[in-house]
Amino acid sequence: MADRPRIKLPKEAKQGEIIQIKTLVSHLMESGQRKDAQGKTIPRKIINKFTCEFNGKAVFACALEPAISANPYIQFDARVDEAGTFKFAWTDDDGTVITAEEKITLKA
């Protein structure tokens, strides 16, 4: 399930502009509460942390809990003071990290 995350943000922004960032990542978000056909508990496997950095500075982060449905959609705002790169990271319970990057430039 190494799908590309879906990310939407403007390609360019004015200096100091507040932009909206939308992200959607494909993940099963197995809660750890369900049982399989044999009655055994299916182990928990969720994305437990999401972070967004801009040019190395933290912009947004959140912890995700088992009650969040599959394919978590996260939307937030960020102020853009300079051109640069947004780095997104979704951390799985098993330690794997899904990452993505988007560049943004300043409007002249």
Output the six-digit token pair for 2: 């190494």
Of 11 and 57, CB closest to another protein: 11
Residue (22 or 107) nearer to another protein, CB: 22
46 DSSP 8-state letter: -
Return residues touching another protein (CB under 8 A): 3-4, 6, 8, 22, 24, 26, 29, 69-71, 73
Q: Which residues contact 15 (CB under 8 A, 6 or more apart)?
A: 80, 81, 82, 106, 107
The distance of closest approach from Cβ of residue 108 to another protein in the complex, given in angstroms and rounded to an integer, is 27
Task: Give the nearest distance from C-beta 81 to another protein in angstroms.
Answer: 25
Determine contact, residues 106/12, Cβ cutoff 8 Å.
yes
Strands 84-92 vs 73-80: parallel, antiparallel or unpaired = unpaired
Query: Least distance (Å) from another protein to the CB of residue 68?
Result: 11
